[in-house]
Amino acid sequence: MLIDDNIIDLKINSKIIQISKLFDEIIQCQSAEEAISYFTIHSKELDKLPNLILLDIQMPEMDGFEFLDSYKLLPDEWRTRCQVVMLSSTLDFGDIRKAEANPYVLKLLKKPLIPTELAAVFRANFTITA
């Protein structure tokens, strides 16, 4: 799942993910609220949950950190299945430290995504089955 309010970043990062072939499907959400709605709609369908959430930090209405406040309330099974990588183009060291200190965040990556960095996160955190 890719969550980003900036439509250009959403399209660029979706294309990078598609080219990487690390995931079969990319669920795109233009807001944190849309992502929460997706989880609510599919609450009984674990197979519909994404393996990875790529979450932008800076968004209007509900930012990435506010999304994480909702995320931490999800059942443990969901959080184990849907791990979070935060994305940012910010130079705000406060945001960077806050993201890196959050126990629910695997990694903070810069936007736009760099395929080798995304692949490294994937290899470090997911089992590849043939």
- Residue pLDDT tens, the chain, 130 long: 999 999 999 999 999 999 988 888 999 999 999 999 999 999 888 888 999 999 999 999 999 999 999 999 988 888 888 999 999 987 789 999 999 999 999 999 999 999 999 999 988 887 655 4
CA of residue 10 relative to chain centroid, distance: 12
Straight-line distance from the first to the last Cα atom of the chain, in angstroms, rounded to the nearest whole number: 22
Q: How far apart are CA 89 and CA 63, in angstroms?
A: 14
User: Is the CB of residue 111 less than 8 Å from the CB of residue 37?
Assistant: no
pTM here? 0.91
For domain 2-125, say whether CATH 3.40.50.2000 is its number.
Answer: no
Lookup: tokens for 24: 């079969």
* Short-list 50, 68, 71, 55, CA closest to 108: 55
User: Is the CB of residue 82 less than 8 Å from the CB of residue 50?
Assistant: yes
Domain ranges of the chain: 2-125
Q: How far apart are CA 15 and CA 34, in angstroms?
A: 20
- Identify whether 75 is preceded by a cis peptide bond (ω within 30 of 0): no
Contacts of 81 (CB under 8 A, 6+ apart): 46, 49, 51
- Residues paired with residue 88 on neighbouring β-strands, in sequence order: 110
